[in-house]
C-alpha cells in the first residue's frame, strides 16, 4: 500500500464528460414531465436561470482551483470558513451521495427487470452495485474512461432526440408540418401557471443540476487542474443549458404540456411518434446507463470525500490509505457497505419513508453551492497568486448568486410539501454540528496536551 497519494490520472475529456454527465441523469430523462407539469413550456426560463447560477458557482470553483491546484472542494470551504464548516459540509455530502447511490442502484435493478422479469429486484440491484464497486477499484484513469463513455451515451441520446424531435416538429415523418407554436400557445399559453409556476419549478430544476460540483473533488486527481478546469467549465455549462432547454421545447411543441404525465415518459412519446420501433427498449437502455453513471459518480464522490475528511483530521486516518492503483480503498469499502445497506433499506422500507430521506440530497447540493460561492468571495482578497481565470463582474455575480441560492434554499425549507424532509435534514445538520464541536474540542485538548508535555520535557 502507498500512503496518502492519489494519482493524477483524469484527463480533460474525462473531466468534461463527468461534468456533463453529472448534470444529465435520470431526472432529465424521467423527471422532465414533472417540471413541465409545474410550469408548462415556461419551465425553460427556470432551467436558464438555474444554468446561469450554476455558471457562477462553477466559475468560482475554477478560479479557486487556479490558485489552490492541490485543494479539493472540502479544503476550499475549510480554508474560508474553518474546520467545523468543512466537517459539516463534508459529512453531509457523503450522506447525500450514499442515499443517491442507493436509489440509483434500485432504479437500475428495476430497469434490468424490464428485460429479466423473472429475476428478483434485490439480485439485479446487487449485481449493479458490484459492477459499480469493481469500476471504482480500478485505476482512476479507467474510472474516468468508463464514465466518459457512459456520459457519452446520455449525450448522444439527447442529441439524437433533438434532431428527431425537431424534424418531427417541423413536419418530418408526417404528411405536412404541424403548426410549431400550436401547443405553446394552447392550454394556457407559454406560461400557463404564470411566473409563480416558473419559480416553483426552479426548486426542482436546481436539484436536477446537482452533481456538477463533483468535479470539485477531482482537482487532486487531474493533471494541470488550474488550466484544465476553467476550460472545461466554460465549455460545459452552455452545452448543459442547451441539452435541457431544447428537448423540453421540443416536447412542449409536440405534446400538450398538461397531457405529458398521462402519456408516460415524454421521450418515449416522441420516439414512438417518429415510428421508431422499440422506443421503450431504447429509453430503458438510456435510463439504465444514466442511473449506473450516477451511482458510479456517487461511489467516486463518497470515497474521495472520506479521503479528504481523513486528510483534514475529520475522519479516521485509515481513509487516507490508497491502493497501488492510487484508489482510497478503505473509503471505497466503507462507502460500498453503506451502499449495500442503503439498497437494502430502499428495497425494504415503504416508498414514502425513503422519499423523506431523499430530501437530504436537495438541501446538501444547495449548501455546497452556497459554500463554494461565499468561499470564493472570502478568499479572493487572500489569494497568494493571481489565477489565470477570474470570474467576471466580481463581486456582483457572486453576491447575486449566493443570495439567490439562499433564497431558494429557504423556500425549499419552508415549503409545506417538504416539512418531513426539512425536519430530517435539519436534524442531521444539528447532529453534525454537535459532532463538529466535539471534534474541535477534542483536537484542541490534544493540541494543548502536546504543548504541556513538551514544556515538561523542556
Average pLDDT, the chain: 76
Q: What does the pLDDT read at residue 1?
A: 43
Q: Which H helix or E strand runs over 24?
A: none
- Angstrom distances, CA of residue 267 to CA of 42, 51, 54, 252, 280: 18, 22, 25, 11, 9
Q: What's the predicted TM-score (pTM) here?
A: 0.80
How far, in Å, CA of 199 to CA of 251, rounded?
20
Q: What does the pLDDT read at residue 401?
A: 93
Q: What does the pLDDT read at residue 275?
A: 67
* Residue 398 confidence class, pLDDT cut points 50, 70, 90: very high
pLDDT at 88 over 80: yes
- Three-state SS for 2? strand
**Backbone phi, then psi, for 348, in 5-degree steps?**
-90, -35
Spatial contact of 74 and 82, defined as CB atoms under 8 Å apart = no
Report which of 335, 297, 303 is spatially closest to residue 321, judged by C-alpha positions.
Answer: 303
**Backbone phi, then psi, for 249, in 5-degree steps?**
-65, -40
Q: Which three cell numbers stand for residue 129?
A: 452495485
The percentage of residues in the chain with a pLDDT greater than 90, rounded to a whole number, is 4
Q: State mean pLDDT over 42-55.
A: 84
Report which of 342, 344, 371 is spatially closest to residue 357, judged by C-alpha positions.
Answer: 342
* Residue 359 confidence class, pLDDT cut points 50, 70, 90: low
pLDDT higher at 50 or 341: 50
- What confidence tens digit (pLDDT) does each residue in 122-156 have? 888 888 888 888 888 877 777 777 777 887 888 88
Q: What does the pLDDT read at residue 70?
A: 72
- Three-state SS for 211? coil
pLDDT at 273 over 80: no
Q: What does the pLDDT read at residue 263?
A: 45
Residue for grid cell 427498449: 281
pLDDT higher at 355 or 203: 203
**DSSP-assigned states of every residue in 52-118:** HHHHHHHHHHHHHHHH-TT--HHHHHHHHH-HHHHHHHHHHHHHHHHHHHHHHHHHHHHHHHTT-TT
Q: What does the pLDDT read at residue 2?
A: 44
Q: What does the pLDDT read at residue 27?
A: 62
pLDDT at 451 over 60: no
pLDDT higher at 256 or 458: 256
pLDDT higher at 74 or 269: 74
How far, in Å, CA of 283 to CA of 165, rounded?
15
CATH number at 8-101+137-284+359-441: 1.20.1740.10
Least confident of 38-47, 148-157, 171-180, 414-423: 171-180
Q: Where are the domains of the chain?
A: 8-101+137-284+359-441
Q: Which three cell numbers stand for residue 366?
A: 444547495
| Prior bond of 395 cis (ω within 30°) | yes
Spatial contact of 398 and 391, defined as CB atoms under 8 Å apart = yes
- Number of other CB atoms surrounding residue 450 within 10 Å: 10
**Backbone phi, then psi, for 222, in 5-degree steps?**
-115, 130
Burial class (CB in 10 A: 0-12, 13-18, 19+), 29: buried
Burial class (CB in 10 A: 0-12, 13-18, 19+), 177: exposed
Burial class (CB in 10 A: 0-12, 13-18, 19+), 192: middle
pLDDT at 453 over 50: no
How far, in Å, CA of 95 to CA of 303, rounded?
11
Least confident of 175-179, 294-298, 299-303, 446-450: 446-450
* Residue 42 confidence class, pLDDT cut points 50, 70, 90: confident
Spatial contact of 284 and 110, defined as CB atoms under 8 Å apart = no
Report which of 367, 380, 341, 363 is spatially closest to residue 421, judged by C-alpha positions.
Answer: 363
Amino acid at each position: 500500500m502507498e500512503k496518502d497519494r492519489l494519482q493524477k490520472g483524469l484527463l480533460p475529456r474525462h473531466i468534461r464528460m463527468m461534468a456533463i454527465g453529472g448534470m444529465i441523469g435520470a431526472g432529465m430523462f424521467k423527471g422532465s414531465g414533472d417540471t413541465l407539469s409545474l410550469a408548462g413550456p415556461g419551465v425553460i426560463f427556470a432551467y436558464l436561470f438555474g444554468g446561469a447560477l450554476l455558471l457562477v458557482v462553477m466559475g468560482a470553483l475554477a478560479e479557486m482551483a487556479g490558485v489552490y491546484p492541490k485543494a479539493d472542494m472540502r479544503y476550499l470551504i475549510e480554508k474560508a470558513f474553518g474546520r467545523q464548516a468543512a466537517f459539516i459540509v463534508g459529512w453531509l455530502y457523503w450522506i447525500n451521495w450514499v442515499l443517491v447511490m442507493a436509489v440509483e442502484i434500485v432504479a437500475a435493478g428495476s430497469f434490468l427487470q424490464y428485460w429479466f422479469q423473472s429475476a428478483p429486484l434485490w439480485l439485479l440491484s446487487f449485481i449493479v452495485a458490484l459492477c459499480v464497486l469493481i469500476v471504482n477499484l480500478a485505476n482512476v484513469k479507467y474510472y474516468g474512461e468508463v464514465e466518459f463513455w457512459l456520459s457519452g451515451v446520455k449525450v448522444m441520446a439527447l442529441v439524437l432526440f433533438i434532431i428527431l424531435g425537431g424534424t418531427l416538429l417541423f413536419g418530418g415523418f408526417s404528411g405536412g408540418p404541424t403548426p410549431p407554436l400550436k401547443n405553446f400557445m394552447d392550454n394556457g399559453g407559454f406560461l400557463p401557471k404564470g411566473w409563480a409556476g416558473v419559480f416553483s419549478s426552479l426548486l426542482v430544476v436546481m436539484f436536477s443540476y446537482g452533481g456538477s460540483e463533483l468535479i470539485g473533488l477531482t482537482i487532486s486527481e487531474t493533471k494541470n487542474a488550474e488550466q484544465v478546469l476553467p476550460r472545461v467549465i466554460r465549455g460545459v455549462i452552455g452545452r448543459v443549458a442547451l441539452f435541457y432547454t431544447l428537448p423540453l421545447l421540443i416536447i412542449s411543441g409536440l405534446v400538450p404540456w398538461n397531457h405529458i404525465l398521462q402519456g408516460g415518459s415524454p421521450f418515449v412519446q416522441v420516439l414512438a411518434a417518429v415510428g421508431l420501433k422499440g422506443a421503450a427498449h431504447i429509453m430503458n437502455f438510456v435510463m439504465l446507463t444514466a442511473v449506473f453513471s450516477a451511482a458510479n459518480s456517487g461511489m467516486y464522490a463518497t470515497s474521495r470525500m472520506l479521503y479528504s475528511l481523513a486528510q483534514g483530521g475529520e475522519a479516521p486516518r485509515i481513509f487516507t490509505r490508497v491502493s497501488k492503483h492510487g484508489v482510497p480503498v478503505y473509503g471505497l469499502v466503507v462507502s460500498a457497505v453503506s451502499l449495500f445497506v442503503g439498497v437494502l433499506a430502499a428495497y425494504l422500507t415503504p416508498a414514502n419513508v425513503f422519499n423523506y430521506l431523499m430530501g437530504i440530497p436537495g438541501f446538501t447540493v444547495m449548501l455546497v453551492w452556497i459554500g463554494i460561492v461565499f468561499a470564493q468571495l472570502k478568499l479572493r482578497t487572500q489569494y497568494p497568486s493571481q489565477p489565470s481565470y477570474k470570474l467576471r463582474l466580481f463581486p456582483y455575480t457572486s453576491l447575486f448568486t449566493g443570495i439567490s441560492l439562499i433564497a431558494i434554499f429557504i423556500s425549499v425549507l419552508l415549503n409545506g410539501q417538504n416539512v418531513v424532509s426539512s425536519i430530517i435534514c435539519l436534524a442531521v445538520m444539528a447532529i453534525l454540528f454537535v459532532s463538529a464541536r466535539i471534534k474541535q474540542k477534542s483536537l484542541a485538548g490534544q493540541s494543548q496536551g502536546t504543548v504541556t508535555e513538551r514544556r515538561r520535557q523542556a
